[in-house]
Each structure stands twice: as structure tokens, then as C-alpha cells.
Amino acid sequence: MNHHLAAIGVIASMILMIVYLVDRGPYSTFAFTFVALPVLAVCIGFYYLREVLRELRDRDVL
């Protein structure tokens, strides 16, 4: 996963979150719970945290 894809994933999940906060109906709740949160977890976990771990390894911190 490259940084473009990860950033787009975070943008999409943030949009779904804002829609949920405004609407709070069943469909927006579903989208926030079952789409936005997993997408955000994947973007942060597979891209951001992996990059951080890689850098820490490169610097012999880990």
C-alpha cells in the first residue's frame, strides 16, 4: 500500500465519519461501523504504523 492509497483511505473514512456525525441514521451508522473504522484501521495499520516500524528498524531502535 503506498501513501496515496493510504491517504485516500483515511479521507474516505473521515468523510463517512462526518456523514455519520451529521445524520446518525441506521445507514450512516452502518457505514461508519463496518466501512469507515475497518478502512481506517487498515490504512493506519498497514501503511502508517508499518512505515514507522520500518524506520525504527532501519535506525536500529527495534
The 10 Å CB-count burial string (b at 16+, else e) for 26-43 is eebeebbeeebeebbeeb
The size of the chain, in residues, is 62
21 lines the binding site for other proteins (CB under 8 A): yes
| Residue at grid coordinates 516500524 | 53
53 lines the binding site for other proteins (CB under 8 A): no
Task: Tell the smallest beta-carbon distance from residue 57 to other proteins (Å).
Answer: 16
SS3 for 2? coil
18 lines the binding site for other proteins (CB under 8 A): yes
Binding residues for other proteins (CB under 8 A): 2-4, 6-8, 10-11, 13-15, 17-18, 20-22, 24-27, 29-30, 32-34, 36-37, 40, 43-44, 47-48, 51
